[in-house]
Amino acid sequence: MHSNRNSLYKREERVYKSQDEGDVKNIKGKEKLYLKVGCPIILIVNLSDELVNGLEGKVCELYLESVVCFFPSIKRKVEIGMHYFKKYSVEMKKDIGCRKQLPLSLAFAFTVHKSQGMTIDRISIDCSNMFQYGQLAVAVSRARNKRESLPIQENFACCVESHVIPQEDIERKQIFFENFENTDMEELNSDDEPKLIEMIDKIDKSWAETDIEHEISENFKFEHLLLSLYHKEAVTDQQINENQVLAFLQENLNETKQFLRYLWNKTYPLIQKYFTDKTENKSINEFYKQFNKIVSSDEYNLKLTKLFSQNPSPAQYNIAFQIHTSLRLEMLQQQSTPIITSAVEEAKSKKGTEFQESAAGRGKIRYLAGWCISRVKKLKMRKLSTYLYKRDKVDLVKQMINDKDLLQHLEGREGELLKYSLDKASLKETMRRQNVRHGLTNVNDKCFEYFLLVDKLVTSLQTVQNLNLHGEKFYAHLTSELYEMKP
């Protein structure tokens, strides 16, 4: 589409060929970029706070190794030069490829995903390859003028959600109603009424029965759950309706608990299957797919219809989903309890474990110690230059000067360290990383010994068990433990 649209511009075309080094497979940037004055473009990297990835513009001037573009959102022209796109190898821990090219791409068309967050005057949409519900709505919502923004085809299959009734449900309904296929309801007499009531009771019983394979935890208080979902100050119609639904569920507690047991029995096997002590992101994604299948199934809708004696309203659907979500959290807690208990015991047993040292490892610690001292010193100097001539900051300036002097005492000169250091082997890592100016900071032996001690303490705490136990609070746990140890 880009090449076809570009031919509409009857101006001279310029081809910008990339300069590649190493492995450039799947690297960002075009191998050949075809541009003309007036064609729409989009930035594909962040160049500054204003020139960000996704910024739209138009080409104004073409030069040998740069392009002048006008960007309407920032209302000015900018010359865009060549950019170095690099490819990094995690295994080799270094850059293995580089491409020199303009950080631009033609912007006659976008994918729906790329268009998110953009505001466009008018659009045309090709929905022939859309594969998810809502993609067309996302695309249309990007346009300011929606009346002139139409799909360019008439096949809207992507907007239609199909509902498949399970074969077992069809067979069950056929069995229930096969005795009534040729019956005129007006011909039923009083003798037939008990049979009809018996048939209805049989239908109710069949939907009421649920085989409970997984018992709900005794600690889970369902009544407390309902109370926690109430809106204390219901203002909107939605909040008022949801409070009414919760009141109905409390009045019909037996039926509500029956629905609860159904949800538990459906969801708990998924928790056991996908959440183990070796859970990966792929397993979590699969769990939520299966979870969403449950709440969108015909069986789930029939259970809700039976519970509320009507087709569920939006408020009833919402409360049912909140109940299901709370149950899911309770199941996760129940499933994770033995894993956490095991992690706590193993963390206690391995606390304080020491690891073997090496000259290379000590060298890296010494290099990092110098980096930390240099970084803190720069921050102190920056603040010092800010407050130096402010009368109300005299005491603060004195403190910062003392801090700066203390940091300087922790540093060591390379020549002296090579002569007098007790661990000369640890200096090699910093010397290896030195540039021509030899500007990296070295630390003296006492400072180095302190960082070695801190590293031992941190290493003893950095265990898989502690990570499982503290999760997102892992860093805070390390910090608090170090403060308690006072190295």
Average pLDDT, the chain: 77
259-289: pLDDT as tens digits: 888 888 888 888 888 877 666 778 888 888 8
pLDDT at 426: 83
Cβ pair 370, 443 in contact under 8 A = yes
pLDDT score of 147 more than 70:
no
Cβ pair 60, 70 in contact under 8 A = yes
- 56 strand-pairing partners: 42
| % of the chain exceeding 70 in pLDDT | 74
**Identity (one letter) of the amino acid at 249?**
L
pLDDT score of 325 more than 60:
yes
pLDDT at 207: 45
pLDDT score of 238 more than 50:
yes
pLDDT tier, 306 (very low <50, low <70, confident <90, very high otherwise):
confident
pLDDT at 69: 94
Which one is predicted more confidently, 351 or 361? Answer: 361
45-71: pLDDT as tens digits: 888 878 888 888 999 999 988 999 999
156-214: pLDDT as tens digits: 555 555 555 555 655 555 555 555 445 454 454 555 555 545 554 554 554 444 444 55
Query: How far from the centroid of its chain's Cα atoms is residue 182's Cα?
Result: 57
Question: CA 330, CA 334: separation in Å to the nearest integer?
Answer: 6
80-114: pLDDT as tens digits: 999 988 888 888 878 888 899 999 999 888 777 77
**Identity (one letter) of the amino acid at 236?**
T
Question: CA 79, CA 170: separation in Å to the nearest integer?
Answer: 67
pLDDT score of 343 more than 70:
no
Give me 445's structure tokens.
């032996």
Cβ pair 347, 463 in contact under 8 A = yes
pLDDT at 210: 46
pLDDT tier, 225 (very low <50, low <70, confident <90, very high otherwise):
confident
Exposed/middle/buried for residue 113 (C-beta within 10 Å: 0-12, 13-18, 19+)? exposed
- DSSP conformation class of 422: S
Which one is predicted more confidently, 220 or 448? Answer: 448
pLDDT at 63: 92
Residues 38-49 have a mean pLDDT of 88
pLDDT at 432: 79
pLDDT score of 385 more than 70:
yes
pLDDT at 212: 45
Query: Which ranges in 309-434 belong to alpha helices (H)?
Result: 314-350, 359-387, 394-410, 414-420, 428-433
Cβ pair 335, 274 in contact under 8 A = no
pTM for this model (two decimals): 0.36
pLDDT at 354: 54
Which one is predicted more confidently, 438 or 26? Answer: 26
pLDDT at 236: 87
CA angle centred on 206, ends 203 and 209, rounded to 5°: 145
DSSP string, 160-178: PPP----HHHHHHHHHHHG
